[in-house]
């Protein structure tokens, strides 16, 4: 750890990244060529010999000097990279960490050096042997992860290795069973970094291996520190679009109760990933939705929605709820009926007037979905909670799709009224503001242009005029 601060590679890497970004942002500028190492005015041979020394202090001193030289735009002799690579496999953690830091910085500032790995035939043993060595060596927290990510910037190498089942098997077989070690954290951190950065290389077999890790360790999540919890939940977010059989295996563990137990009022990244996972699950299938119904999500949402300070997460609350309403059993509407009598539903209505347009739109879609699916089962709720003013507001949201949905919902009720003259529907549609809102909606149309939406709106207006004693 002493030489980490001496080399100050993290700060140097930030500076180099800013330099590279400057040239990327200004394509007319040409990066200055690297100065050949041979022109370095010092004892280069002695420095290289020092790098190959068996003494730790000599090696660390050489890396410090090489870092200073490379920061001055001198090239690093490619024929000596193999010495650094050997150091990355060292059983001496200080040497391994220092060499990995140095190469990570070198590859980020001298990008051509990472092409070194493309000079090898991946069908031979040389490169696979190196990667077998690095995967079997101890991962030094984030250091080894950052180093590997810097190597895998090379697409050819990445595509070759991560399409290889033996390589993936080796990668996952080395993850230990003790989540308190730096090695375990480093390996999970690498999986997170790799999946986030190179999603195109995250193929099905790779994801299957990730799911196995999640199933094994998730029941122990409450024993892990928050950084690992965050990583596990992040990894889970990649796995929600799996087959029902795989998801059912996850549900057969304590995966879901443990997942939602990690939601709190104050941890945005974890909360966001949790809600993304639930959202993905809620929209996957009827079978998975039926699993979610068993976990009292309405109570969970009621506990956290109103106090949630983040709109992105609030939007997910509403989207998940609508997904579950859509999958609700039409024979009994157990979930929907529980929802409309819940504190969570009242909270949605309470915040509506102060909500952003995006959140209003989500709430409007949810309420319209309830109305359209439940129909007569929703009448009492509309009357008791005085929801017609909300439908009026929905017609003034700047969204054609929600306006069409509102007209479609209200037409369903007006159609029932035409057939049955039901007094509850008459009470529901007796509202002058609703008549004016539908008139305003119709005024947006070109009267010479007939379509289904216009026809429905005209039919609705006729019924509203009749009920409210308006003259056509």
d(CA 195, CA 112): 24
pLDDT on residue 170? 93
Q: Which residues, in sequence order, are CB contacts of 446 under 8 Å at separation 6+?
A: none
Per-residue model confidence (pLDDT) at position 331: 85
pLDDT score at 7: 39
pLDDT for res 123: 60
Specify the pLDDT at position 111: 62
Tokens of 435: 């008549």
pLDDT at 221: 74
Task: Indicate the pTM of the whole model.
Answer: 0.77
Looking at residue 16, what is its pLDDT? 47
Structure tokens at 74: 């001198």
Q: Which of 57, 64, 72 is nearest to 16 (CA)?
A: 72
Rounded Cα gap, residues 89 and 83, in angstroms: 10
- The stretches in the chain having pLDDT less than 70 are 1-34, 41, 110-127, 446-450, 471-472
**Containing H/E element for 427?**
helix 423-429
Q: What is the DSSP secondary-structure string of 201-234?
A: G--HHHHHHHHHHHHHHGGGGGGS-HHHHHHHHH
Show the tokens assigned to 339. Answer: 């929802």
In angstroms, how far is the first alpha carbon of the chain from the final one?
83
Supply the pLDDT for residue 251. Answer: 79
Distance CA 439, CA 465 (A): 10
Cross-strand bridge partners of residue 35: 74
Query: Which residues are CB-contacts of 428 (< 8 A; sequence separation ≥ 6)?
Result: 379, 382, 383, 388, 413
Residue 462 confidence (pLDDT)? 94
pLDDT in tens, 196-230: 999 888 888 998 899 889 888 887 777 778 888 88
pLDDT for the residue 226: 82
């Amino acid at each position: 750890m002493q030489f980490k601060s001496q080399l100050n590679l993290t700060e140097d890497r930030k500076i180099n990244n800013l330099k590279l970004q400057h040239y990327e942002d200004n394509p007319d500028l040409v990066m200055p060529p690297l100065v050949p190492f041979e022109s370095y005015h010092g004892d280069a041979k002695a420095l290289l010999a020092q790098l190959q020394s068996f003494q730790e202090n000599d090696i660390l001193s050489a890396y410090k000097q090489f870092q200073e030289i490379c920061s001055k735009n001198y090239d690093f002799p490619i024929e000596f990279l193999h010495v650094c690579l050997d150091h990355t496999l060292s059983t001496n953690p200080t040497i391994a960490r220092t060499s990995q830091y140095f190469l990570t910085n070198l590859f980020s500032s001298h990008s051509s050096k990472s092409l070194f790995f493309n000079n090898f035939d991946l069908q031979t043993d040389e490169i696979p042997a190196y990667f077998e060595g690095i995967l079997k060596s101890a991962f030094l927290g984030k250091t080894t992860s950052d180093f590997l990510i810097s190597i895998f910037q090379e697409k050819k190498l990445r595509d070759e290795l991560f399409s290889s089942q033996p390589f993936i098997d080796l990668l996952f077989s080395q993850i230990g069973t003790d989540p308190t070690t730096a090695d375990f954290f480093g390996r999970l951190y690498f999986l997170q970094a790799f999946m986030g950065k190179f999603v195109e290389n995250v193929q099905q077999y790779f994801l299957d291996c990730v799911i196995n890790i999640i199933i094994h360790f998730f029941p122990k999540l409450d024993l892990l520190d928050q950084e690992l919890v965050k990583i596990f939940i992040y990894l889970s977010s990649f796995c929600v679009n799996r087959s029902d059989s795989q998801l059912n295996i996850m549900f057969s563990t304590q995966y879901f109760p443990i997942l939602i137990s990690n939601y709190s009022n104050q941890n945005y990244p974890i909360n966001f990933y949790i809600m993304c996972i639930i959202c993905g699950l809620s929209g996957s299938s009827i079978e998975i939705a039926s699993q979610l119904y068993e976990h009292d999500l309405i109570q969970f949402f009621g506990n956290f929605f109103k106090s949630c300070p983040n709109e992105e997460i609030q939007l997910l609350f509403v989207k998940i709820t609508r997904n579950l309403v859509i999958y609700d059993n039409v024979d009994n509407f157990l979930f929907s009926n529980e929802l409309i009598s819940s504190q969570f539903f009242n909270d949605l209505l309470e915040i509506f007037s102060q909500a952003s347009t995006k959140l209003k739109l989500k709430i409007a879609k949810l309420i319209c979905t309830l109305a359209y699916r439940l129909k007569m089962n929703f009448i009492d709720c509309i009357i008791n909670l005085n929801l017609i003013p909300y439908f009026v507001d929905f017609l003034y949201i700047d969204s054609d799709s929600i306006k069409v949905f509102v007209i479609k919902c209200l037409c369903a009720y007006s159609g029932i009224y035409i057939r049955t003259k039901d007094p509850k529907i008459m009470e529901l549609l007796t509202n002058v503001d609703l008549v004016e809102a539908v008139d305003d909606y119709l005024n947006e149309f070109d009267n010479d242009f007939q379509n289904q939406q216009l026809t429905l709106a005209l039919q609705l207006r006729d019924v509203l005029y009749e009920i409210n004693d308006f003259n056509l």
